[in-house]
Amino acid sequence: MSRIGKLPIALPSGVTVKVHDDNLVEVVGPLGSLKQQVDPDIQVKVENGIVNVIRPTEQKRHRALHGLYRSLIQNMVTGVSTGYEIKQELVGVGYKATAEGQMLELHLGFSHPFVIQLPPEVKVDAVTERRSNPIITLKSIDKQLIGQIAAKIRSFRPPEPYKGKGVKFVNEMLRRKSGKTAGS
């Protein structure tokens, strides 16, 4: 049996889960609401503030979907109760980030800036303090969406291994290479 799939999901106070007729799971909490369509074979039960995901057979497909949907529902419950936050740091001389509403403008050492229109579910904040690298903060209730946007921002200039210049996550440990060494 799936070790992840069989774990029950405890609902924090203020969070409700509804399962509609077409196996659509809706999670409502203080920060908003999220919906997820669940495969018709997988059954979701809500009773006494605990959500259980049940699979019909031991087929490989059912075992895979069991853990998947349990994790997706857990992420939805966490998102609507506490939310998710990702911080990214721009390391490099002249790298800048400015945020106005849902627009994020990045200057990453290219001849042109990158301008990104963010979806309304994601809140962005760009802070540049003196003598420190600019920090971009993304906040959302949808874990998949915020992770996808953070990966897209990082893909514009991934950190290089010699000096570490580029867009990296805060507290990320990079593998650094030594540069040229003197001939022996």
pLDDT in tens, 89-103: 999 999 999 999 999
What CA–CA distance (Å, rounded) separates 30 from 11?
12
Whether residue 121 is contained in a domain is answered as yes
Same domain, yes or no: 55 and 21: yes
Same domain, yes or no: 155 and 92: yes
Q: How many domains does the chain have?
A: 2
> What pLDDT sits at residue 183?
54
Helix-helix angle 60-81:143-156, to 10 degrees: 90
User: What's the per-residue H, E or C state across the chain?
Assistant: CCCCCCCCEECCCCCEEEECCCCEEEEEECCEEEEEECCCCCEEEEECCEEEEECCCCCHHHHHHHHHHHHHHHHHHHHHHCCEEEEEEEECCCCEEEEECCEEEEECCCCCCEEEECCCCCEEEEECCCCCCCEEEEEECCHHHHHHHHHHHHHHCCCCCCCCCEEEECCCCCCCCCCCCCCC
Same domain, yes or no: 101 and 133: yes
Q: Which residues of the chain have pLDDT under 70?
A: 1-2, 182-184
Same domain, yes or no: 88 and 156: yes
Which whole-number Å values give the CA distances from 21 to 24, 96, 102, in the listed order?
7, 49, 35
Same domain, yes or no: 94 and 69: no
Same domain, yes or no: 71 and 118: no
> What pLDDT sits at residue 127?
95
What CA–CA distance (Å, rounded) separates 73 from 144?
12
Same domain, yes or no: 15 and 44: yes
Output the six-digit token pair for 129. 């303090």
Whether residue 174 is contained in a domain is answered as no
Whether residue 177 is contained in a domain is answered as no
Of the three residues 52, 81, 110, the one that is the final residue of a domain is 81
Same domain, yes or no: 25 and 96: no
What are the φ/ψ torsions at residue 86 (nearest 5 degrees)? -125, 130
> What pLDDT sits at residue 178?
86
CATH number, position 153: 3.90.930.12
> What pLDDT sits at residue 182?
58
Same domain, yes or no: 73 and 139: no
Whether residue 65 is contained in a domain is answered as yes
Whether residue 44 is contained in a domain is answered as yes
**Among residues of the chain, what percentage have pLDDT more than 90?**
84
Q: Which domain holds residue 66?
A: 9-81
> What pLDDT sits at residue 1?
46
Whether residue 182 is contained in a domain is answered as no
> What pLDDT sits at residue 179?
81
Whether residue 113 is contained in a domain is answered as yes
Same domain, yes or no: 104 and 72: no
> What pLDDT sits at residue 61?
92
Q: How far apart are the first and last CA of the chain?
A: 58
Whether residue 181 is contained in a domain is answered as no
What CA–CA distance (Å, rounded) separates 143 from 121?
11
Same domain, yes or no: 135 and 88: yes
What CA–CA distance (Å, rounded) separates 176 from 91?
14
Same domain, yes or no: 39 and 100: no
